[in-house]
Amino acid sequence: MATVTFKDTSRIYPKTKRKAVDRLNLAVNDGEFLVLVGPSGCGKTTSLRMLAGLEEVDEGEIFIDEKSVVSLPPRSRDIAMVFQNYALYPHMNVADNMAFALMIAKLKKSEIRARVLEAAKILDLEDYLDRKPGQLSGGQRQRVAMGRAIVRQPRVFLMDEPLSNLDAKLRVATRTQIAALQRRLGVTTVYVTHDQVEAMTMGDRVAVMKDGVLQQVDLPRALYDEPVNAFVAGFIGSPAMNLIEGTVGTDGVTIGSTVVPIPRALLTAAGKGTVTVGMRPEALTLAGDGNGIPAVVNLVEELGAEAYVYSQLAENVSESLTATPDIVTRIDPNIAPKTGDTIQLHVKAGSALLFDVESGARIRGD
């Protein structure tokens, strides 16, 4: 096991002006499962590849156990990487694919076999050791790729979107297996994904990136409840947080023609003018007293135990109702309205967050 530290680490690709990764400072604890998440092109895979030695580091340092590895070749860093496309040798069977790196390292055949059998048992691959990759399902191939990493007994696991080629049901099952496996082995792991649900359910901590810059790293629940800016607030959560512009007033923030009450300290911190109001779908309820935010329903998504109501502010409604919804509300499906209905939305006390319109930074009243 090991610690991993990025210190002012940057990557600048040739013939580009913007840094792919811009002064990344990030510490991964010994035995931790840390997830790097963000939209495509945010720098998460480049960060992983710099750690692996597959990309150059143009500025800064990367340490494994407080030793700089920037000048070391990939084979000398004692890491194992699991790729998106599995990267299995099609002409080799499962056992040989898992053992390949050990054979290159010239370990004894008895030790290689023992490590392969141990990994196969952990991953439930004992019945597939003689099969070729083409005879396996996507989930089985991914487990073989994991097995190839496990047998090396590295200090650090690196995983680059390993579940993206799996169907939705298998992806859910496999992510649970990977998270449980990592906790069983206790190996420091850096995992890259664009799927924030995957990140929230798997990581001990989650690091959110945008345009090459680390936005926030924290526990999954803290990212959800206490985002540092509007980007993190809108990226973390499914459905995403509602982000709507409002005007700061004496008693609250006006959205459309409705005043949403806001704590006095937060209003004072916000000052005057326009702010971005953040409201989670579960922070909204249907108001029966006519005092809520008026909205017109575009669509109701029935999911069995819950329903999501997609609606537009009444002031923004177009005749066709085809515009992008302004607000998503999570409600009890037994009281779900119908498409075209006008509803009143009440914001639960203390649940609204405020962000600066220009910078996106969280406005705090404490």
pLDDT in tens, 128-152: 999 999 999 888 898 899 899 999 9
Task: Give the helix ranges, DSSP H, for 105-244.
Answer: 109-122, 138-151, 168-185, 196-202, 220-225, 230-235
Determine the pLDDT at residue 242.
Answer: 96
Calculate the dihedral angle through the C-alpha atoms of 60, 63, 68, 72, rounding to the nearest 10 degrees.
-100
Determine the pLDDT at residue 256.
Answer: 83
Determine the pLDDT at residue 317.
Answer: 73
Determine the pLDDT at residue 361.
Answer: 97
Same domain membership, residue 259 and residue 293? yes
Domain boundary among 195, 219, 235: 235
Same domain membership, residue 222 and residue 94? yes
Instruction: Provide the residue range defining the domain that includes 261.
Output: 242-363
Determine the pLDDT at residue 322.
Answer: 55
Determine the pLDDT at residue 314.
Answer: 86
User: Measured over all CA atoms, what is the biggest interatomic distance in the chain, rounded to whole angstroms?
Assistant: 77
Q: Which residues of the chain have pLDDT under 70?
A: 318-324
In 3D, which of 305, 355, 352, 353 has the Cα closest to residue 330?
Answer: 305
Q: The CATH number of the domain where 248 resides is what? A: 2.40.50.140
Determine the pLDDT at residue 324.
Answer: 67
Same domain membership, residue 172 and residue 24? yes
Q: How far is the C-alpha of 131 from the C-alpha of 98, rounded, in Å?
A: 12
Determine the pLDDT at residue 320.
Answer: 53
Determine the pLDDT at residue 167.
Answer: 83
Determine the pLDDT at residue 164.
Answer: 84
Same domain membership, residue 192 and residue 286? no
Instruction: Report DSSP letters for 308-332, one per residue.
Output: EEEEEEGGG--TT--SPPSEEEEE-
Same domain membership, residue 257 and residue 160? no
Same domain membership, residue 72 and residue 164? yes
Q: How far is the C-alpha of 11 from the C-alpha of 46, rounded, in Å?
A: 8
pLDDT in tens, 37-90: 999 999 999 999 999 999 999 999 999 999 999 999 999 999 999 988 888 999
